[in-house]
Chains A and B, each alone.
Chain A
Amino acid sequence: MTVTSPVAGHDAAAPEEPVVELVGVRAAYGAIEVLKGVDLVVPVGSVVALLGPNGGGKTTTMKIVSGLMPTTAGELRLSGRNVTGITATEASRLGVCSIPEGRGVFANLTVRENLWVATGTGTPLAEVEEAAYTRFPKLGDRRNQLAGSMSGGEQQMLALSRALGTSPAVLLLDELSMGLAPMIVSQMYDIVGQLAEEGISILLAEQFARVVLPIADTAALMLGGRIVAVGDPADIEHELSTTYLGG
């Protein structure tokens, strides 16, 4: 349990304020606690990878940051501001762009309509479309096709397009690789790497550890609702291989 500090101290946000910060965050589904005190920092302009097996709490952590799930204790800060209890709508408008696990697209909407929904944070449709079709010409060809009828890779491209046009403060990517062929996965992460180079701060959760290690600045290993190790991706990778198949 952390004590809520008065807001006053944070009024003058230092330039080094991390874009996302979790302090002692706990969360539960009903009586079942799934996050047992998570501390996590995403510095401005860096890529942080959450790694670990399923059930470790990665997705829940992402849901906390994106505002889809309330905390039971602890504090969520965005750019130094305490925003604990924020709703997903508000978080999104503060520049948190979250691509959830599974499909991050509306299956019964066309590609263009999906991009239209992505304008919820204020970017004009034309800009979002331009950015998406430039990066993924395939999407431009299929702008009037229903998103649900496209392949998994194309759907994920569409989901990623939301981050392209809207220049978010931080991008959350939950299991970008889910259900995708390895080729497509590495393509996706190439794009993510480019976004990172453009200076977007990124927090991503991934069970395919290896694909994200090249682009991550920091890796955090999550197990049993806690972050058990944080550090250089290469070091964590080593630790990871021992946790995964049980040695």
Chain B
Amino acid sequence: MSSTKVIFPKVNITGERSIRFAFSNQVGKEIFNQVQSFCHMLEKESFLIEEVVPSYHTVTVYLKKDLEKIEPFIQSVLAKWEQQSKGEPDWNSRKLQIPVCYHEEFALDMERVMEHTGLRNSEIITLHSQTVYTTYMIGFLPGFPYLGELNPKLATPRLPNPRAKVPKGTVGIGGSQTGIYPIECPGGWNIIGKTPLEIYRPDREEPFFIRTGDTLRFVAISQAEFSAIQTQLVKHPESICEFIKEN
């Protein structure tokens, strides 16, 4: 966070146990930083809090039990937030590298993206893998990251007819967004590659590879590298940690 000035959120009690803190109506780096700092502050005050769900611009807090009066809790949170503004932010984003094979074996819609963007295959791969993406939130499916920002040159409308099944690990472009399918599911995004990483695996010690706040980069790999990584991860699922580059 470049500045230590905090935005005071608008507060709504949205249920017996839920409070919505809204920081803005827009998507942006500054709002994202505020949302992240606020979440990290709340995580340290967790005795009444069941969980905290961030989005681009809001933080929703779910409480462990019905409180007789919810306002004092809100007041205390806001008072702490004001204190926070006087100190330095204390969170760092993790940096992840996601290997992606863009080979035609996996990149089923590369032609369509080329046609739509007017770019060559190699240019698409370069633009897609050059960008450092920020994970704004996770949802829609378990472990599915909402990433910003795709290079606008790569924006391609969703498929007119979604596929009934898209394999897990598929990397795609849907409109102005890019993302990774954590599990096999129906999908309408343009498929441009596949990662051998299982970003969601409920039986792994860390079921979710990507967390909100992580920054990530796609690294182009060959089919041979794809197979090697996949084999390695089948033997040692926890070795996925090697793709976390720093903390």
Q: Do chains A and B interact in one complex?
A: no
Q: Which residues of B contact A (CB under 8 A)?
A: none
Residues of A within 8 A of B (CB): none
